[in-house]
Amino acid sequence: MSVIALPRAEPVPRRASPGWLALITRRKTTLAGAVLMLVMVLVSALAPVLASDPGHMDVARRLSAPGRAHWFGTDDVGRDVWSRVVYGARLSLLVGAAVVGLSFAIGVVCGLAAGYYRRLDNIIMRVMDGLMAFPAIVLAIALMAALGSSVVNVIVAIGVVNAPRVARVVRGSVLVIRETSYVEAARALGASDGVMIVRHVLPNCLSPVIVQGSFVFAAAVLTEAALSFLGVGVPPYVPSWGVILAEGRLYIQQAPWLVIYPGVAIMLTIFGLNLFGDGLRDLLDPKVRGLATERQRAA
């Protein structure tokens, strides 16, 4: 056995690349958004510790004002509003995450197929255009009418509504990436379509998609609240911010806390997601710009 001695490579001094955490904490607004989201995750995770049973009724104390016993007061059947808001955070987080998952599963596959295979492009994108011709909330209402009221159906309806938006973003970046020189190189080396899509195209179109993710999340939280507020979302026994607001609307004169607390919860959640999404977009932007120059070179 012979050993070939290779010249020992000088260790290249690693360029100090800031980690994810450093990048996120660099801008105050992004940090604020991340903190708001972290609070929401913690509140949902610790819901059983922080709150009591959100369905427990105490009719004797119905519509009592916020105080020591009930921080956020009680509703029309004496349920603790704080507990309902805390468990509502859990539902919002669940719906948001599941909708992002579902709309990405549909949107990324359709977007990749449409962008990569020219023959499929027209048909897929026409269907997506058709779906996007419906205003989001109206299509979601119609889907809920057909599917019936349940948490899973809310996720399906909002997921289907948002999928075309994801597909459009993915298709847009695939169209740019497929013209780049490294994709051409991979093709010249005989890479199959599968390898090409999974190893080369998909990873490079992820950053705009990730940014889209935070906005889809925000849209999902909003739409769930709106659907439940209208009475066509989750069933009324599920603690949801929209459901609490719908009840609060009826007692707005006697019990404004039924509107204020879940309202503030929704606002802070969406604000946090928007701040985070904006920050993320600016952060990932240089890469998108890098793609643009790549495109010019290819042309």
Residues near another protein (CB under 8 A) are 126-127, 129-131, 133-139, 141-148, 222, 225-226, 229-232, 245, 248-249, 252-253, 256, 259-260, 263, 266-267, 270-271, 274-275, 278
Distance of alpha carbon 142 from alpha carbon 185, whole angstroms: 47
Closest approach of another protein to the CB of residue 249, in Å: 6
Closest approach of another protein to the CB of residue 146, in Å: 4
Number of DSSP helices (H) and strands (E) in the chain, helices first: 13, 0
Distance of alpha carbon 258 from alpha carbon 245, whole angstroms: 7
Query: DSSP class of residue 74?
Result: B
| Nearer to another protein (CB atom), residue 159 or residue 202 | 159
For residue 37, what are its two tokens? 């989201």
Closest by CA to 98, choosing from 212, 216, 230, 247, is 216
| Nearer to another protein (CB atom), residue 85 or residue 201 | 85
Closest approach of another protein to the CB of residue 248, in Å: 7
CB 54 within 8 A of CB 84: yes
Closest by CA to 249, choosing from 232, 267, 231, is 231
| Nearer to another protein (CB atom), residue 77 or residue 137 | 137
| Nearer to another protein (CB atom), residue 48 or residue 130 | 130
Three-class SS of residue 80? Answer: strand
Distance of alpha carbon 72 from alpha carbon 167, whole angstroms: 41
Closest approach of another protein to the CB of residue 128, in Å: 9
Closest approach of another protein to the CB of residue 277, in Å: 10
For residue 203, what are its two tokens? 């990873």
Closest approach of another protein to the CB of residue 222, in Å: 5
| Nearer to another protein (CB atom), residue 71 or residue 271 | 271
| Nearer to another protein (CB atom), residue 177 or residue 275 | 275
Three-class SS of residue 135? Answer: coil
